[in-house]
Amino acid sequence: MTNRLSSSEKMKRLKIHFILTLLLLTSLLVGCVHAPAPYRPRNWENGPIDMKSVVDPPDEPLLQVIIVYGPAWDHHSALRLVCPDRPVLFWDPGGGYGFDLPEVVRSKDLIRVNSPSLETYLQHIWHFSIEVEVFEWDLKQEHAHELYDVLLNGTDKNHPAGRFTTPTIGLFCTVAVSDFLHRFAGKTMTVPRTFFFPHNLARVLYTQSPKHVLAFRRGRQTAYFPSGITSGYSNPSQISR
């Protein structure tokens, strides 16, 4: 009798766990399924661009946050940090770019040698996506160096912002990127907390005065600017670098 009761109790617990797991998966799917770039402001100016115009600036530090949208949901976040006096860093938390490259190239989800340009990364990610947003901010060199050191070396528990390291398990790319921006990028933006879904991070980034947002689809590249920022450009496709 005791064994039967024990077996019955185990079955009930298994059913509860199954139902909870099913509800979690359903909520994740419902939270993810939507059109690309759902929070892009409709009043922003925009103009076509070509890939030559998005080459890294030669003398200006630059922060790029990349949001990747799949056919039915957004599925990845990554980050590029450009410092003119240092090699470009590409952080691909939990991602697959350069996964088969030597450790000297990709280590702890960080590409430190021959980091991909935007064009190179787009060629890689097109297999899994239909649109990519790239949020850009100019940085002061001092702040760029601070962010660079955090990404490259990590921090320990004695750091004012606490311990940080770049390795990230799959599915938690946006948690990692938003946590980094929340804790270390306060001189440039305010990300109030961590986010799981890339589109929720994008929603906040649109409010943080990016210089512009580059949107890439196959056969179409567009730059979006906060309303009025392109006034004075003789050609709307020009990008201020």
Give pLDDT tens digits for 90-125. Answer: 999 999 999 888 888 899 999 999 999 999 999 999
In a domain, 236, yes or no: no
- Assess whether 1 and 49 both reside in one domain: no
Q: What is the DSSP letter of 164?
A: B
Q: Are 237 and 48 in contact (CB under 8 A)?
A: yes
Total structural domains in the chain?
2
Dump pLDDT digits (tens) for 70-85: 887 778 999 999 999 9
Beta-carbon contacts of residue 77 (< 8 Å; ≥ 6 apart) = 65, 66, 67, 68, 93, 173, 174, 176, 177, 178, 198, 201
Q: What is the pLDDT of residue 144?
A: 98
- In sign, the C-alpha dihedral spanning 120, 127, 170, 25 is positive
Nearest CA-CA partner of 66 in 88, 93, 46, 47: 93
143 shares a domain with 185: yes
Type of residue numbered 17: H
- The answer to whether residue 230 is domain-embedded is no
1 and 42 assigned to the same domain: no
Q: Which two tokens stand for residue 24?
A: 């979690």
Q: Poorest-confidence range of 5-19, 148-162, 165-179?
A: 5-19
9 & 120 share domain? no
Q: In this structure, are 6 and 43 located in the same domain?
A: no
Whether the per-residue pLDDT at 54 is higher than 80: the answer is: yes
Contacts of 15-24 with CB under 8 Å at 24 or more apart are none
Q: How far apart are CA 111 and CA 37, in angstroms?
A: 26
Domain containing residue 112: 36-225
Same structural domain, 161 and 133: yes
If asked whether residues 72 and 50 sit together in one domain, one would say yes
Model pLDDT, residue 33: 45
